[in-house]
Structure 1
Amino acid sequence: MIKLEETTVIDAPIQRCFDLARSVEVHLIANVHSGEQALAVGEITSGLAGLGQQVTWRAKHFGIWHNLTSETTALEPPSHFRVTMIQGIFRSMQADHLFRTLPSGETEMKDIFAIAAPLPFLGPLAEALFLRGYMLALVRERNAVIKQIAESSDWRHYLPSPEELREDVPR
């Protein structure tokens, strides 16, 4: 099993960063290189993933199409949410996304991933040789997209109005 930790500082309010990190549309933009899409077989295909909701993603990695269903298994706005793989290529995958406001007013977004490769005997070798680097690059790309959107006026295209957010997520 590999554990990855990546921290990104974003010059935007914590709630905006938290919600952009849960956005299906922002996730898709961050993974455009893999042709990723949210399939209708999941519970949601757009908007903000809420507690207990599942998204089934389809993407091409290493030249092969994969489906991965993830569920938001913890949600504590605006400081933490956890996404857990329910079905997919890995033996297991869990991602914790932690947010805190820094004294400067910026938001620190910390992502902690635990991923186990699918093959019991070759898995540790694959993890050491390429999976760690590949997954870290994906996380960094995702975070760069969230940062760019959050720090510009583009965030308004991806987030519901404040009134809609109050109805969707318990605060």
Structure 2
Amino acid sequence: MARIELETLILAPPAACYALALNVQAHLDSTLQTGEKVLAGPANGQLALGDVVTWEARHLGFRQRLTVRITAASPPHHFRDELVRGAFKTLRHDHYFEAVPGGTMMRDVFEFCSPAGVVGRWFDRLFLTRYLSNFLRLRNAMLKQQLEQRP
């Protein structure tokens, strides 16, 4: 299984970071580059424990559909979303929000595995890890910008 860990310092309290990370519209706004949209599940407002959402977006030139469920929630410090159905064999994304002086350290732990066995593991490590790291960095930068521009 491939693993990505990213940290982003945000000058906002953990509760605000947690809430924005679970906000459907903020998610859509932070993924404009992939044309993400909601096909099924909550299409606006806050996601919560047990919610299931099917997202559609263009990744690597292909239209992808991923259905995820919020499987863990400990506001305002952690939540997890996990793949129910989609292009991966497994996908688990943990979001952590730790209070630090002046704000929050937002940490993503993103674990995934392609369904194609040995070839998939090679693809994950050599290409997909870089692509998904860049995608998460861009998303986090957008969330950071939204949070730090709030009055």
Task: Output the TM-score relative to the length of structure 1.
Answer: 0.85
Q: Aligned match of 1:74 in 72, 75, 90? A: 72
1:140 aligns with 2:112: no
- In the alignment, which residue of structure 2 is the partner of 1:162? none
1:88 aligns with 2:89: no
Encode CA deviations 1:119-160: one digit per residue, 9 max, x unaligned. 113101111221000000011011101100000128xxxxxx
1:118 aligns with 2:115: yes
- Structure 2: unaligned runs, 5 residues or longer: none
- In the alignment, which residue of structure 1 is the partner of 2:32? 32
Alignment-mate amino acid for residue 34 of structure 1: T
Q: Aligned match of 2:99 in 88, 98, 101? A: 101
Counterparts of 1:20 and 1:10 in 2: how far apart (Å)? Answer: 12
- In the alignment, which residue of structure 2 is the partner of 1:3? 3
- In the alignment, which residue of structure 2 is the partner of 1:21? 21
Give the number of aligned pairs.
Answer: 151
Alignment-mate amino acid for residue 94 of structure 1: R
3-state DSSP of counterpart to 1:138: helix
Percentage identity across paired residues of the two chains = 37
Task: Output the TM-score relative to the length of structure 2.
Answer: 0.96
- In the alignment, which residue of structure 2 is the partner of 1:151? 148
4+ runs deviating over 4 angstroms: none
Encode CA deviations 1:47-72: one digit per residue, 9 max, x unaligned. 11100001110011111111100110
Alignment-mate amino acid for residue 83 of structure 1: D
C-alpha RMSD over aligned residues: 1.1
Alignment-mate amino acid for residue 30 of structure 1: S
Larger gyration radius, structure 1 or structure 2: 1
Per-residue deviation, 1:29: 1.4
Per-residue deviation, 1:105: 2.8
Counterparts of 2:64 and 2:52 in 1: how far apart (Å)? Answer: 16
Per-residue deviation, 1:74: 0.3
Per-residue deviation, 1:14: 1.0
- In the alignment, which residue of structure 2 is the partner of 1:51? 49
Per-residue deviation, 1:12: 0.6
Q: Aligned match of 2:126 in 129, 141, 149? A: 129
Counterparts of 2:31 and 2:115 in 1: how far apart (Å)? Answer: 21
